[in-house]
């Protein structure tokens, strides 16, 4: 599958690469939440987290940790967000598995989502039971 990320890995589109090994590629996001915001992607294409091979996930999450540690130290961030948007409804725009590594500062104004809660304790139990059955 050819995506903009495939072209970045191939060197067809310029980027500010910050990490690469035989399986993973990481580069600075061109529209960062904060300076240092990076994307970590596997070189082997999968659309997202749910269809990626287990070995690919191990490789990429190991690189996410390494990149996150470096970004936190290099930027002096107070914290780090690791975000993976799975599917269009979740905000995924490029359908090549990727993790956002976002340096966070206590005064950066970044807003987290707001919870909706459950309509009742019964609804929560029903959802939990459905998930357990699938697992």
Q: Average pLDDT, stretch 78-102? A: 97
The answer to the question of residue 51 being in a domain is yes
Which pLDDT does position 83 carry in this prediction? 96
The answer to the question of residue 118 being in a domain is no
Which pLDDT does position 19 carry in this prediction? 98
If one counts the domains in the chain, the total is 1
What single-letter DSSP state applies at residue 112?
P
DSSP 33-67: SSTT-EEEEESS--SSGGGS-HHHHHHHHHHHHHH
Q: Which long-range contacts (CB under 8 A, 24 or more apart) does 14-21 make?
A: 18/67, 18/70, 19/63, 19/66, 19/67, 19/70, 21/63
* Cα–Cα separations (whole angstroms), residue 45 to 21, 74, 84, 89, 116: 15, 29, 15, 20, 34
Active centre residues (catalytic): 98
Which pLDDT does position 67 carry in this prediction? 98
The answer to the question of residue 17 being in a domain is yes
Which pLDDT does position 61 carry in this prediction? 98
* Greatest extent of the chain over all pairs of C-alpha atoms, in Å: 53
Q: Which residue has the higher pLDDT, 23 or 116?
A: 23
The answer to the question of residue 123 being in a domain is no
The answer to the question of residue 90 being in a domain is yes
The answer to the question of residue 60 being in a domain is yes
- Each residue of 49-76: pLDDT tens digit? 999 999 999 999 999 999 999 999 999 9
Q: Which domain CATH number covers 99?
A: 3.30.428.10
| Domain extent at residue 71 | 4-108
């Amino acid at each position: 599958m050819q995506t903009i990320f495939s072209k970045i890995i191939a060197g067809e589109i310029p980027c500010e690469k910050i990490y690469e090994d035989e399986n993973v590629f990481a580069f600075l996001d061109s529209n960062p939440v904060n300076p240092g915001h990076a994307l970590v992607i596997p070189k082997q294409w999968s659309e997202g987290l749910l269809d990626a091979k287990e070995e690919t996930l191990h490789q990429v999450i190991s690189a996410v940790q390494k990149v996150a540690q470096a970004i936190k130290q290099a930027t002096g961030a107070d914290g780090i967000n690791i975000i993976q948007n799975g599917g269009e409804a979740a905000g995924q725009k490029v359908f090549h598995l990727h993790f956002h590594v976002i340096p966070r500062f206590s005064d950066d104004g970044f807003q987290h989502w707001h919870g909706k809660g459950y309509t009742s304790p019964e609804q929560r139990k029903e959802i939990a039971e459905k998930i357990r059955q699938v697992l």
